[in-house]
Structures are given as C-alpha cells and as structure tokens.
Amino acid sequence: SAVISQKPSRDICQRGTSLTIQCQVDSQVTMMFWYRQQPGQSLTLIATANQGSEATYESGFVIDKFPISRPNLTFSTLTVSNMSPEDSSIYLCSVRPSDTYEQYFGPGTRLTVT
Amino acid sequence: ELKVEQNPLFLSMQEGKNYTIYCNYSTTSDRLYWYRQDPGKSLESLFVLLSNGAVKQEGRLMASLDTKARLSTLHITAAVHDLSATYFCAVDWALGKLTFGTGTRLTIIP
C-alpha cells in the first residue's frame, strides 16, 4: 500500500495569487498523478508527474497554469497559478505503486479562490 | 476519447433493499476501479477489477466486470445506512491515468 499526505489540507486564496500544493508518499513510486475535483463534480486528471522528466498534461490543462515539480520518487508539487474563482476545487495527488494494481489517492487540498 | 457513464446519478434506497449501479465505458480497458467518497473526504478504494468476468465482493458490495460489453456493475445487497456515500467507477486507459464516471450519490433511508 501507499500512504499519501498533502499540504495544505485547505486554503482560501485571493484572485490572481498562486498556491503550491505538496504531495508526499511513504514509499518510492515511479508515477504520480494530479487530479482535480470541481464542486459537486467527478475527478479529472490534470497531469502525470514523472521523476526526471517534464510532466505530461491532459487536454485542457497547461504548464503555465499548473506547473508541476517532481524532484524525487516520493514527492511532488502542483502550483495553481494566477488563480480565479473557477479554480476553486479539491486537488488530489494519486500514485500507482509498481508492485500493485491499486491506485491510491491523497486526502486532497480544498482550495477556495475569492 | 474515453467516456465513462454511470447511472443512476442519484439513488435513494430503503434499508434492506438491493440495487445496482451501472458503469459503461466507451473504449477497451482491462482495469476498472470502484471508489467510495464520503462528503468532504478523499477517495476510498473499494475494488480493482482486472479481467473479463472478474467478480469481487466485500461485505454488502459486489462488483463485476464485463470487458466485452464494456460494463461494470456495483451491486448493493440489503443496504444499510453506513453505505450512504458517492460511488465512482474509474477506467484505467494508460498505466494509472484514470477517467472517472460521473458518480452515483447513494442515500439509504431508514
């Protein structure tokens, strides 16, 4: 299994500012993923964070808006840049350990942009 | 583009009744997940279904996968209040990249 922690757990931010969300895993994993869950909605994949290479973004998400770092095999950050109220969501980190088919999700970061 | 549809979106059940949530997806995949989400919480993994005909059961919940029909079901037996939550299916289309269904908000009524 994998235990994932995220910081902060929640934040209220002003329009136009940026927030960096941290994701820490208790074991080394090759692939980490960032998902967004808008209020009352399902989850959508933002990007895949690979250690040692650029993150891969899904359609509708761009690096300038959601820069990602992956400095090692247990840690990643997602920055939400130049925020607007439409960015108010829960952001979740997810991992797939190589020795299992399970996919684990962190507790999420609840972001409110005013 | 992979599409994942769940139905129903909302479900109110009486305690003790049985019901099924359906998850249809549009392209081939051999890996399907079911998650539970309580209000204000993250996702709890329920089942991972890895092959055609896979069936898994845990307590009052049973999930199955038919890859030929591109259909998974989550069956609830003799519902109890503790099962009230939102349930998501998710299809793996590329090594951990999941497309989620719309979710089914389940409410169990005493």
- What is the domain-level CATH number for residue B42? 2.60.40.10
Report the pLDDT value the prediction gives residue A1, as an integer from 0 to 100. 82
B105 touches chain A (CB under 8 A): no
Predicted confidence at residue A47, as pLDDT, reads 97
**What gap in Å lies between CA B49 and CA B41, rounded to an integer?**
23
Number of domains in chain B: 1
Boundaries of every domain in chain A = 25-103
Buried (b) or exposed (e) across B21-58, using 16+ Cβ within 10 A? bebbbeeebebbbbbbbeeeebbeebbbbeeeebeeee
Do A106 and B42 make contact, defined as CB atoms within 8 angstroms? yes
B90 contacts A45? CB cut-off 8 A: no
Distance (Å, whole) CA A46 – CA B61: 30
A34 close to B (CB below 8 A): no
* Domain A25-103, CATH: 2.60.40.10
Residues of chain B with Cβ-Cβ distance to A44 below 8 Å are 100
B93, β-bridge pairs? none
What was the pLDDT predicted at B1?
Answer: 84
Q: What is the mean pLDDT of residues A79-83?
A: 98
- Taking residues B71-99, what's their average pLDDT? 94
Q: Do B103 and A42 touch (CB under 8 A)?
A: yes
Residue B79: pLDDT above 80? Answer: yes
Q: Is A85 helix (H, G, I), strand (E, B) or coil?
A: helix
Cβ distance of B101 and A102 shorter than 8 Å: no
B45 to chain A: which residues are within 8 Å by CB? 102-105
What does the mean pLDDT of chain A come to?
95
Contacts of B57 (CB under 8 A, 6+ apart): B63
Which domain covers residue B24, as residue numbers? 4-109
pLDDT band at A111 (very low <50, low <70, confident <90, very high): very high
Closest CA to A91 of A9, A17, A28: A9
Pairing mode, strands A109-113 and A10-13: parallel
**DSSP class of B81:** G
Q: Taking residues A39-52, report their average pLDDT.
A: 93
